[in-house]
Amino acid sequence: MEVKVVRRVLDANETMAQENRQSFAEKGVFVFNLMSSPGSGKTTMLVETLKRLGKEIPTAVIVGDICTTNDADRLAQTGVEVVQINTDQFGGDCHLGAHVIRRACQDINLDAVDLLIVENVGNLVCPAEFDMGEDRKGVVLSVTEGEDKPLKYPLMFRVCDMAVLSKIDLLPHLDYDKDLAVKNINTVNPNIPVFCLSTRTGEGFDAWMEWLKNQVAAKKKS
Amino acid sequence: MHEMGIAMQIVDIAKSAIPKNISSPRVESVNLKVGKLTAIVPESLRFCFTVVTKDTPLEGAKLNIEELPVVALCEECAHKSTIENADFSCRKCKSGKLKILSGRELTVSSIELAED
Ligand SMILES: Nc1nc2c(ncn2[C@@H]2O[C@H](COP(=O)(O)OP(=O)(O)OP(=O)(O)O)[C@@H](O)[C@H]2O)c(=O)[nH]1
Ligand SMILES: [Mg+2]
Ligand SMILES: [Zn+2]
């Protein structure tokens, strides 16, 4: 006997993401979900970003890691509020689900911040599938990964609203086709901006910071 | 890598779809639709499904996975394209302004119960 069901498996996450989105909207907080494979440079980029932001935009950070508090410690040194999520407690998850973000937000005074940055678990596959109620998603791809990564992981590059090509200070030492990497990102997602950055030289930071500030300002106004 | 969690959700959905008036139900198969743009590895999902169905009415059930193509509508010329090789541009006019119509499904469409 066949029983019709037709239920979306990720409905529970979707529903909670929608609730998060609602509460972020009420508080006027711009939420940015930053993803990449392990070690692409998310934490280093965020530390540098937070330093440059200074007191200009009240910011909090949620950082996901399967274990350790290393990234949280590095981020906390910039003086912003940091909430560390060890996904160990959530079954060693490979991503931050909407329920995890909701939990983490209980430890943050959302009324006092305009920008909430989430550093997702290092993984180019799973985090792409799970909405958390964020306004924008970004992906970091370092020049030590292959130029074809966007084509191999299309979902990640498709769901993102911007991409960062990181560690470009290493380019002189590598046989890496930066233009091809950018082209591949835009093959998967033709309209997103790609920021080429180096945390070592600071190259590219102005454009990225401007993008971020504009996003925060637009959210505040709406 | 999150296939275990997904498998558990599928089992929950399937269990709640079993009609209440059946005394000792046995699910023979679960039919699932998976878009090609989801971050799911069918083989790994099948493995997890076998693990999490142990000692449930779904033990031994088959997980039938129907893969759905990625289809997008061009917002410039209204042409419908099937997206392949991660090339998200309109097949007809090459525009990148596409609306994804399908390909991200992850849906339990039905279950089949043993009749005994
Ligand atoms: N040369 C160079 N190295 C960088 C740059 N940014 C980060 N790194 C190095 O790359 C390594 C990984 O950086 P992280 O910032 O920890 O990367 P992550 O993406 O946060 O890593 P996970 O959170 O573990 O996924 C560190 O050794 C950094 O010093 C850069 O712009 N240039
Ligand atoms: Mg990190
Ligand atoms: Zn077209």
| CATH number of the domain residue A144 falls in | 3.40.50.300
A190 alpha carbon to ligand 3 midpoint, in Å? 13
| Pairing state between β A194-196 and B70-74 | unpaired
Q: Considering the domain boundaries, does residue B78 fall inside one?
A: no
Distance CA B81, CA B70 (A): 8
In this structure, are residues A31 and A135 in contact, taking their beta carbons and an 8 Å threshold? yes
Q: pTM of this prediction?
A: 0.93
Question: HSE-up of B1 (CA within 13 Å, CB side)?
Answer: 17
Q: Which ligand is nearest to the CA of A35?
A: 1
Q: What percent of chain A has pLDDT over 90?
A: 86
CA of A201 to the centre of ligand 2 (A): 19
Higher pLDDT, B111 or A221: B111
CATH of the domain at B36: 3.30.2320.50
Instruction: Note whether residue A10 is domain-resident.
Output: no
Provide the pLDDT for residue A59.
97
Nearest ligand atom owner, CA of B80: 3
pLDDT band at B54 (very low <50, low <70, confident <90, very high): very high
Region B34-50: mean pLDDT is 93
Of the residues A9, A13, A125, A159, the best mutation for testing chain B's interface (the one with the most B CB atoms within 10 Å of its CB) is: A9
How many domains are contained in chain B?
Answer: 1
Q: Rounded to an integer, what distance in angstroms lies between the CA atom of residue A95 and that of residue B40?
A: 13
Surrounding residues of ion ligand 2, Cβ less than 5 A: A 42-43, 71
Is residue B36 assigned to a domain? yes
Q: Is A49 in the pocket of ligand 1 (CB under 6 A)?
A: no
Selecting from B32, B40, B88 the residue whose C-beta is nearest the C-beta of A158 gives B88
**Taking a contact as any Cβ pair under 8 Å apart, which residues of chain A between 148 and 167 contact chain B?**
150-152, 154-156, 158
Domains in chain A, number: 1
A221 lies in some domain = no
pLDDT in tens, B70-83: 999 999 999 999 99
Q: How many angstroms separate the CA atoms of A208 and B20, rounded?
A: 56
Whether the CB-CB separation of A151 and A36 falls below 8 Å is answered with: no
pLDDT tens-digit readout, A160-191: 999 999 999 999 999 999 999 999 999 999 98
Count of Cβ atoms closer than 10 Å to residue B33 Cβ: 20
CA–centroid distance, A180 to ligand 2, in Å, is 26
For range B60-88, the mean pLDDT? 96
ipTM above 0.95 for this complex: no
The secondary element (H helix, E strand) that includes residue B87 is none
In a domain? residue A188: yes
Neighbours of B27 (CB within 10 A): 23
Q: CA–CA separation, A185 vs A151, rounded Å?
A: 8
* Res A89: pLDDT: 60
A59 lines ligand 1 (CB under 6 A): no
